[in-house]
Homo-oligomer: A and B are copies of this chain.
Amino acid sequence: MYKIAVIPGDGIGPEVTEEGIKVLEALAADSELEFEFEYFNLGADHYLETGELVTDEVKEELAQFDAIYLGAVGDPRVEPGVLEKGILLDLRFTFDQYINLRPIKLLNEDFTPLKDKAGGDIDFTVVRENTEGLYAGFGGVLKKDTPDEVATQEMVNTRKGVERVIRYAFDYVQDRDEVDKVTVCDKRNVLTYAHGLWQRAFDDVAKDYPEVEEDHMLVDAMTMKMVRNPEDFDVVVTCNMFGDIITDLGAEIQGGMGLAVSGNINPDGVSMFEPVHGSAPDIAGEDIANPTAAILAAAMMVEVLGHAEEADRIETAVQQALTDNKTTSDMGGDLSTAEAGDYISSLL
């Protein structure tokens, strides 16, 4: 029996997590797995009513769960950064979810904007550092709103923080498929301090994995190769900021946000799973949002909880729904959010 904390959040978050839960319940009905869901009311509405983001009490409660299932945070009524830093990043940091795992997998060639790539040509995973770097929140503003204003933001890396994510990537690659290659993506030729540490940590950790091929890409060249030869990647490990950028690019080349999933993982603690797409306030409440990414996030949760086979069943059902064109309009189908979730559930 798994206890799952659900944070539906803002915008389309509640609609899409509902479908994810529907699918998990369909899976439970036809397997040994059991889930218990508890809802947490966090996000823009709660913040605007109470001024609260995530209180210590809520964090203590969340710590009791086996996993967190998140819809989305973000709302145009709130200043940029308040909800993102105050909820999403705070949870990642509080639960030390130091891995942000983002599979980039082209399921159907019709969805990619790239020429000449067939399903299977794009199949790699980005392991993004998720608790430090430019996301540390360090910095400040001096002489604000004067012509002499200076603003800083610090990229802070610790050897421990970098080593553990690199080690995770090397362990992960060996479980993944036949190819075993880890690419480190950085900007060591300019960020000589912060990414000098990345370089040294990578070279050190790699020594423990002589059977894994090592590779290095500068972040600028990385984006080029992602649109030209994405088949060359297997597992890519990178810092928080660059991971943010290249995983969104990855989401697009694999067919768009409708399919992109993000796991915030602490291998020894509480992990959190979310679709990448965000709150999309413009289409919220219309029952047209695509629940596929939220459903795939639920599948990743099942996998990380230790049930790869059951996770596979969900992924296979999603793939079938795509093939049958039983999708929402953004993917070319004509189903509502709820109907799309129903269809995938019915395949389980």
Contact = CB atoms under 8 A, between A and B. Distances in A.
Interface of A: 74, 80-81, 84-85, 89, 112-115, 134-135, 139-141, 143, 145-160, 187-197, 199-200, 219-221, 223-224, 227-228, 241-242, 244-249, 251-253, 256-257
A4 to B, nearest CB: 27
Contacts of A158: 148-150
Nearest to A278: B221
B157 A155 contact: no
A154 B157 contact: no
Contacts of A252: 223-224, 227-228
Contacts of A159: 143, 146-150
Contact of A84 (B154, B190, B227): B190
A244 B147 CA distance: 26
A161 to B, nearest CB: 9
Contacts of A256: 224, 228
Given A80-B188, A220-B244, 4 more contacts: A84-B189, A85-B190, A113-B228, A220-B245
A198 to B, nearest CB: 8
A195 B244 contact: no
The 7 A-B residue pairs with the shortest CB-CB distance in the complex, in nearest-first order: A153-B194, A149-B159, A220-B248, A151-B197, A139-B193, A224-B252, A223-B249
B200 A145 contact: yes
A248 B221 contact: yes
B196 A224 contact: no
